[in-house]
Structure 1
Amino acid sequence: MDTPDEMLARAAAQGDRAAFATLLARHYDRLHGFCWRLTGSRTEAEDLTQDICAALPAKLQGWRGEARFTTWLYRIAVNAAHDLRRRQATRAKAALGWGDWELARQDEIAVEREAQDWLATAMSSLSPDLRDTVALTLGEGLTQGEAAEILGLSEGTVAWRMSEVKKRLKAMAKAEGMT
């Protein structure tokens, strides 16, 4: 004689492994088929069914027996599918946000690279004296006094050269329509 699901569920809730195994044997295929219909994917259905089966011993502790066991099991499956969909939606949103962030980062890199290329081209049009001064002060981070000492000039001359570089670069940018 077959033991009713409800009796097996009560026994499984009390720790009866044989009762639990019998419940799984009876309902696993039906649960898997239901999960497949809920998810539309064989792989997701397999994962979801396994997750439900793994959580079932703990969930049986809360089973009150007010509904048929199969009704209760279907409710567990529906809730698990809803949870899965919420997790997937959250991951999708996070992935989209990450993608937007990466696109913005790539745009920033491209703008910076373009500015660096423009600056390199503009610098090549300067006289060697002005380029040397810029290379020491901006490129190497030296003070105007340190650059003056290296170049054998007065600090005032280095300051004038830097002022001249700024004026020329501004004029080049204006001529090219940059602001």
Structure 2
Amino acid sequence: MLDYLNGAPAAFAAIVERHENRLARIAFRIIGCRSEAEDARHAVFVRFLQLCGSQPRQFTRVGAWLTRCTVNEAISRVRKQNREGRVRAEFATLVPAAGISSPSEQVEAEESRERLSIALAELSPDARAILSLRFDEDLTFREIAVLLDRPPSTVKSQLAKAIAQLRDLLGAAN
């Protein structure tokens, strides 16, 4: 970060390279559309670039700041889509396919991914964000609380509620 502020553009490229895949994953899990997730990630990096010259102290923890902005940007985009009446439910491979050898196992795994995708699309953007941060990014309750600016107890209860909703939706799909 300091290298970039001192005029080394390669430092910004290193920041982007280090965080871009993780931010795209987070945005995609919340939004459900690859192109919108890419746009959200791009918007976060543009905002970062604009702000780091004027407010460098804000970026002592670059990864945390980028993650929080990505979550906020993704949730804002979902809310905007909902206001405009568009529903997006394009989720990527959510259930790992490792260890699948037979065609019947592949079909079963694909059906599981599809059920999970549909169920996740039914959850609120906030619930998808918390689930993604906890299970995709493997963050602790405390880390999620810091990123979302919420007490850890609130994060725990929201995660429990999201898991219960997901279980209900998956149970109803069977």
TM-score range, shorter chain: 0.3 to 0.5
Task: Name whichever structure is richer in helix by fraction.
Answer: 1
TM-score for the superposition, normalised by structure 1: 0.38
Which structure: larger Rg?
Answer: 1
- Compute the TM-score of the two structures, normalised by the length of structure 2: 0.39
